[in-house]
Structure 1
Amino acid sequence: MPQLNPAPWFAILVFAWLIFLTIIPPKILGHSFPNEPTPQSTQKPQTESWTWPWH
C-alpha cells in the first residue's frame, strides 16, 4: 500500500506550502486597487426638520 508511505507526499506538501507562503503573497499584495477608500469626517451632518405642512 504505497499511499501509507509518507516520504514523497510530505515533501510535496512542504514544497507546496513553501510556494504558497513565499511566492504567491507578494504577487497578490503587489496589486493596486483603483478605488482607494477616502477617510470620512467624524462630524455628524446637520439635519434639518421638514417644514412641509401635514394635511
Structure 2
Amino acid sequence: MPQLNPGPWFLILIFSWLVLLTFIPPKVLKHKAFNEPTTQTTEKSKPNPWNWPWT
C-alpha cells in the first residue's frame, strides 16, 4: 500500500485557498438581494377591533 507523501501538502493548501479566494467572492458578490431592507416606523399601529357577528 503506498504511503502519502506530505511534501506537497503545503503547496496544495496554498493553491486551494488561492483558487477559493479568487473565484468564490466574485460569484457571491454578483448576487442581488431582491428584498431590500426597509426602515420601520416607530409609531405603533392601532389594532382593528374584531367583528363578532355571532354574539
Q: Under TM normalisation by the shorter chain, which class is it?
A: 0.5 to 0.7
Structure 1 partner of 2:46? 46
Answer yes or no: is 1:27 the counterpart of 2:27.
Answer: yes
In the alignment, the residues of structure 1 paired with residue 48 and residue 31 of structure 2 have an alpha-carbon distance, to the nearest angstrom, of: 43
Q: CA deviation at 1:36?
A: 1.8
Using the size of structure 2 for normalisation, the TM-score is: 0.57
Write out per-residue CA displacement over residues 2-45 of structure 1, whole angstroms, 9 at most, x where no aligned residue.
31x32222211211111212321122112112222222212221
Using the size of structure 1 for normalisation, the TM-score is: 0.57
Which structure 2 segments of 5+ residues have no match?
none
In the alignment, the residues of structure 2 paired with residue 31 and residue 41 of structure 1 have an alpha-carbon distance, to the nearest angstrom, of: 28
Structure 2 partner of 1:18? 18
Letter in 2 for 1:47: P
Letter in 1 for 2:41: S
Alpha carbon RMSD of aligned pairs, Å?
2.4
Which structure 1 segments of 5+ residues have no match?
none
